[in-house]
Amino acid sequence: MRFAFTDDQKMLRDTVREVLQRECTPDVVRQVWEGQGEGAASVWGTLAETGVIGMMATEASGGMSMTEVDSVLLFEETGYAALPGPLVDTLAVGVPLLEAAATESQRDRYLEAAVAGELRVVAVAEGEDTVAYAITPDVLVAQRASQTYCVPWDEVAATAETSVDRARHLAKVSFEASDPHRMRNDVDHEALWALAKRRATVATSAQLVGLSRRMLDMSVAYVKDREQFGKPIGAQQAVKHRLADALIQQEFARPMAYRAAWSLATEAPSVEVDVSMAKAYASDAAKFVARQALQVHGAIGYTIEYDLHMWMKRVWALAASHGDAAHHRALIAEHIL
């Protein structure tokens, strides 16, 4: 396989990067940690104005008919910024599910608003009952007994759960699986959710790649400024080797995420293996980079007042989301052995 991102894809990535650099600063992430979501809401609004939230919807539904290859770069940038909010659930899962399976009344009520970024979606598959970013959503899309339901958030019973990443606001959810919330019956719900899970896994892998890049950038900047015995600690071979190893891990993970996005977009026969490879590599790499970043920062890196702390916590949360590295290595083994 040989492919390169187009100029348009790179331009969209750069636009999102500029928005996040300007509006999703570490101060905004910290505000969400402390229970203040105004800054994050502003970022979401700006992304919605650019068309990012509904980009994977068809043009007939108000979207841009873009694919996973278009979105993977954007998810990487949202990881770099540690963006708070259910972007993966809305962009990669919720909007495509609504477009594929919503009834006419559900399309009228939810789809256009979701594509426009005016409505935030969280999703849970069969056997799951916990959602992230549970203080901001408007609707829950859920798989239950091989059916899909679209439930307004005010009809969902949500119990707050403790999260390692305070900006993710976990909650255990339950709802009444009633006919008014049931989505169309003339679609293959199992296939739709299998695709949704793969999309969420690839998007999360890309976010982990972005998180790795940000932690490495933080670490490089720190070791240039931090001095011991009159010299920057970055001049020490031991520090250089740690950061070089972190860079190698990150550079191995990135193309895996890109390959998985390409396989999804082209419906490649190897898509299941490619998605699991991406998540396994991205999870391992992000956790490795987090360890090296913490090591070169020393104790200050683990203090809650220091920005690196928030990025490490996001890594630990996302590395376990949508299957950890061990889970995906087991899936790969099932396919190739």
| Three-state DSSP string of 123-136 | EECCCCCEECCCCC
Average pLDDT rounded to a whole number, residues 155-169: 94
**Cβ contact 147:136 at 8 Å:** no
Residue 229's pLDDT is what? 82
- Residues 16 and 19: their CA atoms lie apart, in Å, by 5
Average pLDDT rounded to a whole number, residues 329-335: 95
Dihedral pair phi/psi, residue 140, rounded to 5°:
-110, 130
Of 302, 119, 88, 32, the closest CA to residue 210 belongs to: 88
Token pair, residue 99, equals 């477009």
Average pLDDT rounded to a whole number, residues 206-226: 95
User: Which residue is associated with the tokens 């056997």?
Assistant: 127
What's the CA angle centered on 278, arms 272 and 279, to 5 degrees? 95
Q: Is the pLDDT of residue 273 over 90?
A: yes
Could you tell me which residues come within 8 angstroms of residue 32 by beta carbon, excluding any fewer than 6 positions away? 39, 40, 84, 166, 167
Q: Is the pLDDT of residue 254 over 80?
A: yes
Between residues 38 and 168, the one the model is more confident about: 168
Token pair, residue 57, equals 């919807």
Residue 2's pLDDT is what? 66
Q: Which whole-number Å values give the CA distances from 251 to 166, 248, 260, 286, in the listed order?
A: 28, 5, 15, 11
Strands 227-228 and 171-174, by their bridges, are: unpaired
Residue 235's pLDDT is what? 79
Of 310, 318, 317, the closest CA to residue 26 belongs to: 310
DSSP 174: E
Of 208, 218, 254, the closest CA to residue 82 belongs to: 208
Residue 215's pLDDT is what? 97
Lowest mean pLDDT among 7-16, 138-147, 229-238: 229-238
Given CA atoms 222, 228, 230, 234 in this order, what sign does their dihedral have? negative
Q: Is the pLDDT of residue 214 over 70?
A: yes
- Residues 312 and 316: their CA atoms lie apart, in Å, by 6
77-115 pLDDT per residue, tens: 999 999 999 999 999 999 999 999 999 999 999 999 999
Residue 126's pLDDT is what? 92
DSSP 306: S
Dihedral pair phi/psi, residue 270, rounded to 5°:
-90, 15
Q: Hey, is 72 helix, strand or coil?
A: helix
* pTM score of the predicted model: 0.96
36-50 pLDDT per residue, tens: 877 788 999 999 999
Residue 39's pLDDT is what? 76
pLDDT, mean over the chain: 94
Q: Is the pLDDT of residue 1 over 70?
A: no
Number of C-alpha atoms within 13 angstroms, CB side, residue 279? 28
